[in-house]
Amino acid sequence: MNELITRGGMRVRLREMRAGDAAVHDEFIAALDPQDLRFRFGNRIVEAPRSRLHRMTAVDHDREITIVAVTKTAAGACAIVGEVRLHDDADGGRAEFAIAVRSGLQRQGLGRVLLEKGIALCRERKRRLLYGLVDRSNTAMIALARRLGFEVDEVPAGATVVVTLEL
């Protein structure tokens, strides 16, 4: 995939997650601050479980796809700075997304680029609906979803909202 520049000036390249990305993916997850970890993995989490980290780079290509945004460090190494995960429901007509952008690099347009890529992939794969479960306090993600045309279902007294996009 081609290199792109976010509105914040960050140069990134989008590509599929590879099995060999385990170490750089672990670094990406480790760089997320506690709030971003909670937004990505759910309430009461302070660190991603080691058992989940391996699974996150062992993608089942029949039912899921993960796109990572990679950049080069000053030393020339590859670093993951964002990801969008798409997981098909059992019927194959709907997909759930999850997205994370490295703490400190948010609000530069990378989340939008990743979610737009996820939407395009779901359309290519003929999914009818894309949805995500978003922490109610993650107002930036809710606002982004709205800007991209997602409906936001705010469950009264619930900790999460459901965002859906008919494809």
pLDDT band at 167 (very low <50, low <70, confident <90, very high): very high
| Mean pLDDT computed over 18-35 | 86
- Give 89-103 pLDDT, tens digit per residue: 988 899 999 999 998
Domain parsing of the chain, residue ranges = 3-166
| The pLDDT of residue 163 | 97
pTM reported for the whole predicted model: 0.85
Domain 3-166 has CATH 3.30.230.30: no
Inform me whether the pLDDT recorded for 44 exceeds 70: no
Q: Distance (Å, rounded) from C-alpha 27 to C-alpha 167? A: 34
**What span, in angstroms and rounded, lies between the C-alpha atoms of 28 and 77?**
13
SS3 category, 69? strand
28-32, 109-113, 146-150, range with greatest mean pLDDT: 146-150
How far lies 8's CA from each of 50, 109, 111, 151, in Å?
A: 32, 7, 12, 27
- Report pLDDT digits (tens) over 53-101: 555 555 565 788 999 999 988 787 889 999 999 999 988 899 999 999 9
